[in-house]
Structure 1
Amino acid sequence: MSTQTWREFGDGPLSRAAASVYTLLVVGLLLALATLPGLVPLLLLGRDASNLPLVAVCLLPVGPAVSAALYALHHQRPDLTDLRPAARFRQGYRANLPQVLRIWTPLLLWLTVIAVNLTHLSVAAVPSGWAVPLIGVGVGVVLVGANALVIASLFTFRTRDVLRLALYFLVRTPAVTAGTILLLAAAVALTVLFSEALLALLAVLFVLAYLRIGTPMIDLVRKDFTG
């Protein structure tokens, strides 16, 4: 079959749909494998406040894995003749790992400290009203971290610049911020009502939605902050 015929075959709507499904399946499998070292012990942990530091340790592999999935999905080509989702996932994982860990590790540390404080307010004889600002700080940390993870996954900036951009875009792109809040709320609800395993099973769809929600921010970063 000629190159021209292959190219035409790869450009049709059914071919593009098949390419997208294949990419999601491969990236989803690799995402599950990359998070497996933390997911297995996480599923075995009881839902007790004393396990919060262990939960944070179990979640360490999630940041780099999600970053690699964002990279692979962002760089996918809707062409059956040029599909390399596994190679792009590995490329994104290797390239982004140091930067992502510099963002993801402090994020988990901050959230663990906040969560431990929230669960021990009565023990510390702290008024229950303190829960409100603590929750507000926690939500802010999560949203900045979510923006930072997208930026660090798709662009090359210094860590401090990534964090500055992440904070800046909380205000600059309110639709992205609102969409991220809704997506995180859906993930939390799924985990609470069902289990972490179901969230892990649907993780690639959440990452795809996360990428689509962040598209306005990605476009502005590319337009305003890259050459």
Structure 2
Amino acid sequence: MNVTALSRATGLIYNLLVVELLLLLTTVPTLAAITLLDHDVSNVPLVAVCAIPLGPAVSAALYALRHGDDEPATAFWRGYRGNALPVLKLWLPLLAWLTILAVNLANFSSAGVPGWWGVLLAAVAVAVTLWAVNALVITSLFTFRTVDAARLALHFLPRGATLANAGVLIAAGGVTLLASEAVTALLGSLLAGALLWNSRAMTAAIRDRFTA
């Protein structure tokens, strides 16, 4: 490994560590809820409320990993301040919608509805989550109106990045099931970096076609 490659690797590790620390710091309510609350469907709405800080925090992490080559902490807080409100305009409706879907799926057996309805609800939840990943990346890296960011996220949903991001989310879910939510949280900056890497074709297309 030459000096340049070593320097880049060291810089990447440093950025990931700084972003991870700040990501954990800004998601304390979410981490506390996940750790302390019982895994019961009755707690889903409370978990959703505690997850509100997660959207702006992940957005700031995406921004910092994209723009914070030399000063990741400065880039993180700049991204947090600049993106918090636009992200929340998408994040809050998403949490509400996913909460409704989760409660319905958890009580599916007692609802007396056909089995295909549960499959449909699960498919909708997956599609909405993958759309949200696109929207989060777009809102974190570009300045669009909320409706335009939502439309672009939907436009790029059938693209290859969606499948790759689905793999990242499945891996995160697997780590959570096999280990714990705390381990997944400690991998937060790596997961954000993976989403950013998977979305590079989408962000390049948006930059070339939809920005001046």
Name the structure 2 match of 1:5.
none
> Residue 152 of structure 1 corresponds to which residue in structure 2?
139
Corresponding residue of 2:20: 28
Q: Could you say which residue in structure 2 is the equivalent of 1:3?
A: none
Q: Deviations over 1:160-182 (max 9, x none)?
A: 000000000012xx210100111
Matched AA of 2:181: E
* Runs of 4+ residues deviating >6 angstroms: none
Measured after TM superposition, the shift of residue 41 of structure 1 is 2.2
1:38-94 deviations in whole A, cap 9, x for unaligned?
Answer: 2112211111111111111121111110000000000133xxxxx211000000000
Q: Report the CA distance between 1:126 and its aligned residue.
A: 1.6
Rg larger for:
1
After TM superposition, the score normalised by the length of structure 2 is 0.96
Query: 1:36 Cα shift?
Result: 1.2
Partner Cα distance (2:47, 2:38) in 1: 10
Residues in 1 aligned to 2:180 and 2:50: alpha-carbon distance in whole angstroms: 15
Partners of 1:57 and 1:193 lie apart in 2 by 25
1:103 maps to 2:95: no
1:176 match: secondary structure: helix
Structure 1 residue 17 corresponds to structure 2 residue 22:
no
1:13 deviates by 2.4
Extract unaligned runs of 5+ from structure 1.
Answer: 1-10, 78-82
User: How many residues are treated as equivalent by the alignment?
Assistant: 210
Structure 1 counterpart of 2:88, one-letter code: L
What percentage of aligned pairs have identical amino acids? 52
One-letter code aligned to 1:38: T
TM-score after normalising by structure 1: 0.90
The aligned residue for residue 122 of structure 1 is 109
1:163 aligns with 2:155: no
Deviation by residue 1:129-179 (Cα, 9 ceiling, x = unmatched):
2111101111111011110000000000000000000000012xx210100
